[in-house]
Structure 1
Amino acid sequence: MARGKIQIKRIENSTNRQVTYSKRRNGIFKKANELTVLCDAKVSIIMFSSTGKLHEYISPSTTTKEFFDEYQRMLAVDLWTSQYQKMQEKLKSLKEMNMNLRREIRQRSGQCLNDLSFEQLPLLEQDIDNALGVIRERKFKVLSNQIETKKKKLRNEAEIHRRLRSEFEARMEDPQYGLVDNEEHYETVIPGFFALRLQQNQPNAHAGSGSDLTTYPLLD
């Protein structure tokens, strides 16, 4: 059964369009290779897909540059001169921009002022004043942060000193202070836990044990 004629128009479905492009591209490259071998021809094909991908075929015995050089020679045209001139103009523009920036930097440091007119000097002075304002603002912010950090550190050290002094004074008044912390909490949370207290000025409860600790069971 003969295959129906395909209407030549844009394929709307993107997947089908990409599949068709891949198949026909391979077919064209195959025909180009056959033409190169059978006829000893130089063939070059360049393709860009709808997704922006580049595909090209160049005869195996020819490089891309050689092919375009031959194209220029046969048509007596120069494909590279215009592009080279554009690149030179772009390079010249970038060099001028770089030179102007370097000159502005030197002028801001007090150099190359002889190149400025009287009208330009006040503008440079204003730019320097604005820059100094930004620098001073940044400096003030950094100093403020450093001062605030030191204040926080001093407050923390003062709090630690106050707490240590309070504990020292409490120990001076009661030598057993701090040996058992929050006894009521232990009695509530962990029933049956044995609290240990130092027994000062009392005989050893267990002879030969070598310990002066007496255990007291907590009440449920």
Structure 2
Amino acid sequence: MGRGKIEIKRIENSTNRQVTYSKRRNGIIKKAKEISVLCDAEVSLVIFSSTGKLSEYCSTTLMHALDRYNESSGKKKLWDAKHEHLSNEVNRIKKENDNMMIELRHLKGEDITPLHYKELIPLEEALENGLANVRAKQMEFFKMRKKNEIMLEDENKYLRYILHQQEIAMDGNVRELDHEKGRDY
């Protein structure tokens, strides 16, 4: 007994739609793997769900498959001008990052032997500015610490004063009780 044919249209019930998507996605990925192994074919499969989740299978690298597609189809490259611009931007940022890493190594005192005297002057100025900022921050920290110490000392003195006053009051109360009971010291 075979399966009945279903009408190919959007499934309205979201739960049923998700279950069908999962089963059919797994089935098509299984078929892609099978045709790749059985027929020694290069297969690339990319699926985006309605939620944007990516599922994929590639028997080779995706870039290799896309390059072969471009060569075989004779169509315009998949990489349009926008993607070329993004690729150029990525390369520019990588170069900028490399330059910053070199500058960071120089600031750490590494790899400075090949530098010319004129290149060392701004490096020295940057280090002096950084050192001045660090020292200023340390002074700010020490001043705040000193201020906190003074506040704690004042609070300690105040609490000792209150304790002393309570001891005097308690001592006075004890003497009064002893005096009432006829005891004198």
What is the SS of the residue equivalent to 1:112? coil
Q: CA deviation at 1:172?
A: 3.1
Give the TM-score taking structure 1 as reference length: 0.44
Q: CA deviation at 1:99?
A: 0.5
Give the Cα–Cα distance (whole angstroms) in 2 for the partners of residues 155 and 145 of structure 1.
15
Aligned to 2:6: none
Q: Given residue 156 of structure 1, which amino acid in structure 2 is its aligned partner?
A: E
Aligned to 2:166: 167
Q: How many residues align?
A: 113
Identity of aligned residues (%): 15
Give the TM-score taking structure 2 as reference length: 0.51
Aligned to 1:139: 138
Aligned to 1:26: none
Task: Please tell me the root mean square deviation across aligned C-alpha atoms, in Å.
Answer: 3.2
Aligned to 2:109: 110
Q: Given residue 98 of structure 2, which amino acid in structure 1 is its aligned partner?
A: M
Aligned to 1:95: 94
Q: CA deviation at 1:139?
A: 0.8
What is the SS of the residue equivalent to 1:80? coil
What is the SS of the residue equivalent to 2:174? coil
Q: What are the residue-to-residue correspondences of 1:71-220 with 2, within 5 Å?
A: 77-78=76-77, 80-175=79-174, 200-201=180-181
Cα distance change on mapping 1:171 and 1:80 into 2, 3 Å:
closer
Q: CA deviation at 1:164?
A: 1.5
What is the SS of the residue equivalent to 1:114? coil
Give the Cα–Cα distance (whole angstroms) in 2 for the partners of residues 120 and 139 of structure 1.
29
Give the Cα–Cα distance (whole angstroms) in 1 for the partners of residues 99 and 178 of structure 2.
84
Give the Cα–Cα distance (whole angstroms) in 1 for the partners of residues 142 and 112 of structure 2.
34
Q: CA deviation at 1:149?
A: 1.0
Deviations 1:100-147 (A, max 9, x none): 111111111100112422111011000000001111111111111111
Q: CA deviation at 1:79?
A: 5.4
Q: What are the residue-to-residue correspondences of 1:62-73 with 2, within 5 Å?
A: none
Q: Given residue 127 of structure 2, which amino acid in structure 1 is its aligned partner?
A: I
Give the Cα–Cα distance (whole angstroms) in 2 for the partners of residues 172 and 79 of structure 1.
95
Give the Cα–Cα distance (whole angstroms) in 2 for the partners of residues 116 and 89 of structure 1.
29
Give the Cα–Cα distance (whole angstroms) in 1 for the partners of residues 92 and 110 of structure 2.
24
Q: Given residue 129 of structure 1, which amino acid in structure 2 is its aligned partner?
A: E
Give the Cα–Cα distance (whole angstroms) in 2 for the partners of residues 174 and 82 of structure 1.
94
Give the Cα–Cα distance (whole angstroms) in 2 for the partners of residues 142 and 99 of structure 1.
35
Q: Given residue 122 of structure 2, which amino acid in structure 1 is its aligned partner?
A: L
- Which has the greater radius of gyration? 1
Give the Cα–Cα distance (whole angstroms) in 1 for the partners of residues 77 and 116 of structure 2.
46
Q: Given residue 201 of structure 1, which amino acid in structure 2 is its aligned partner?
A: K
Aligned to 1:23: none
Q: CA deviation at 1:160?
A: 1.0
Unmatched tracts of structure 1, length 5 or more: 1-68, 178-196, 203-220
